[in-house]
């Protein structure tokens, strides 16, 4: 699963990439001008499980990052900008909301609402062109040989076309499973889930309040919203742990923004975590929501999925309440589940298998 980091020039995209990946963008691998990396999901549950089990290794769940070139409004619909964005499953849209005489703005002055609309409209126009092209091709195919599936796809595309003509993103439409399958391959930009990241200045509380109404309007249309100050986050990285906690407390922050953003991104990608715990390793595994126990086993190793018998599970909350694995087993809190079991976020799992 790939999270694309997008936005206009000079918004702080590279800094966000570095905060999530823990790696300077200049040293990260790149392909076709797309900077690539991995982001660890800083899940507090893993920290508590590690404190309980005291393993040799602790491993956080991870997801892929892609940082394509900045969106240029005068050339935004070219394949050079759009193709890498289309390949992402979800998007972090970095919005500049900080003032700085040392950092130019492509549109001369700070206006987050305008910048959001600029990027959104470019996506809508690109999707509109794609819709029209696909609809025209579909009609030609139907004249040669029609089918119920083509009729259904045509109806879905026409719904999308009307939504785009009304200048509304496709992610605000509802699609059932079959409808989504019909349009998934088109990789519509405005259909992708979005985290809107307001990169604000160092006057954190006041600037967050300044854009609260705009942020709420984004939430109403289904976007997730994160406020952060890239400048403050960079300062935090340079501090010792005790100084960092004190500085964050002064700012009213419970945790670094990179932690909050990684959790939001994880959710936006439709992922959850299950855990494997033991003296050698405590590990979080990323898994699509709604996945079965055998699918979770396959994330660990293909042999476990092939020879799956049962999954012994306990929820994270139950284990914490019990206080230890031994106490949880004595209280018979672990459950044996078969192939039909749907894994829940926070499940601690041990796979029983035979190959």
pLDDT at 236: 86
d(CA 34, CA 314): 41
pLDDT tens column, 112-140: 999 999 999 989 999 999 999 999 999 99
Q: Which two tokens stand for residue 166?
A: 């009304």
- Indicate whether this model's pTM tops 0.75: yes
More confident position, 138 or 254: 138
d(CA 161, CA 339): 41
pLDDT at 138: 93
Top-confidence range, 172-186, 220-234, 306-320 = 306-320
* pLDDT band of 73, cuts 50, 70, 90: low
d(CA 84, CA 232): 29
* pLDDT band of 80, cuts 50, 70, 90: low
In angstroms, how far is CA 37 from the centroid of its own chain?
14
pLDDT at 78: 57
- Average pLDDT estimate for 55-62: 96
Q: Nearest Cα to 4, choosing from 46, 64, 72?
A: 64
pLDDT greater than 80 at residue 320? yes
pLDDT greater than 80 at residue 164? yes
pLDDT at 75: 58
Measured CA to CA in angstroms, residue 311 lies from 216, 233, 291, 298, 305 at distances of 41, 41, 13, 12, 11
d(CA 242, CA 37): 29
Q: Name the H helices within 310-354.
A: 316-322, 325-330
**Helix or strand holding residue 314 (H, E):** strand 308-315
- Average pLDDT estimate for 88-107: 87
Top-confidence range, 34-43, 166-175, 296-305 = 296-305
Q: Which two tokens stand for residue 149?
A: 């599936």
Report the share of the chain in percent with pLDDT over 90.
64
d(CA 68, CA 88): 10
pLDDT at 222: 85
Phi, psi of 34 (to 5 degrees): -105, 120
pLDDT greater than 60 at residue 77? no
CATH superfamily of 290-353: Beta-grasp domain (3.10.20.30)
pLDDT greater than 60 at residue 76? no
pLDDT tens column, 261-288: 888 888 888 899 999 999 999 999 999 9
Query: What is the sign, positive or negative, of the torsion defined by CA atoms of 249, 254, 259, 265?
Result: negative
- Average pLDDT estimate for 311-339: 97
More confident position, 231 or 57: 57
pLDDT at 282: 98
Domain ranges of the chain: 290-353
pLDDT at 81: 66
Q: Which residues contact 320 (CB under 8 A, 6 or more apart)?
A: 48
pLDDT at 25: 82
* pLDDT band of 50, cuts 50, 70, 90: very high
- Average pLDDT estimate for 204-232: 91
């Amino acid at each position: 699963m790939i999270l694309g980091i997008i936005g206009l020039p000079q918004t702080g995209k590279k800094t966000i990439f570095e905060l999530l990946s823990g790696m300077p963008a200049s040293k990260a691998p790149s392909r076709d001008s797309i900077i690539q990396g991995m982001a660890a999901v800083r899940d507090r549950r893993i920290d508590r499980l590690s404190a309980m089990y005291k393993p040799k290794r602790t491993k956080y769940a991870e997801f892929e990052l892609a940082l394509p070139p900045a969106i240029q409004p005068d050339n935004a619909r070219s394949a050079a900008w759009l193709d890498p964005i289309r390949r992402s499953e979800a998007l972090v849209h970095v919005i500049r909301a900080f003032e700085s005489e040392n950092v130019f703005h492509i549109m001369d002055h700070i206006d987050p609402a305008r910048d959001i609309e600029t990027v959104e409209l470019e996506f809508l126009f690109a999707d509109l062109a794609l819709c029209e092209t696909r609809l025209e091709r579909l009609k030609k195919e139907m004249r040669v040989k029609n089918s119920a599936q083509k009729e259904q796809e045509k109806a879905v595309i026409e719904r999308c076309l009307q939504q785009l003509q009304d200048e509304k993103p496709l992610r605000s439409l509802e699609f059932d499973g079959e409808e989504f399958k019909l349009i998934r391959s088109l990789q519509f930009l405005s259909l992708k889930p979005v985290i809107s990241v307001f990169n604000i200045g160092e006057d954190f509380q006041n600037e967050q309040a300044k854009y609260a109404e705009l942020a709420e309007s984004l939430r109403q249309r289904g976007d997730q919203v994160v406020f952060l100050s890239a400048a403050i986050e960079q300062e935090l990285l340079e501090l010792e742990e005790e100084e960092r906690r004190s500085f964050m407390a002064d700012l009213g922050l419970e945790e670094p923004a990179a932690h909050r953003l990684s959790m939001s991104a994880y959710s936006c990608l439709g992922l959850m975590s299950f855990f494997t715990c033991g003296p050698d390793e405590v590990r979080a595994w990323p898994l699509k929501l709604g996945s079965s126990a055998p699918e979770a086993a396959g994330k660990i190793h293909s042999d476990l999925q092939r020879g799956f018998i049962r999954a012994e599970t306990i929820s994270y909350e139950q284990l914490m309440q019990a206080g230890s694995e031994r106490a949880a087993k004595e209280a018979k809190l672990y459950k044996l589940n078969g192939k039909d079991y749907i894994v829940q976020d926070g499940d601690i799992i041990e796979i029983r298998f035979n190959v």
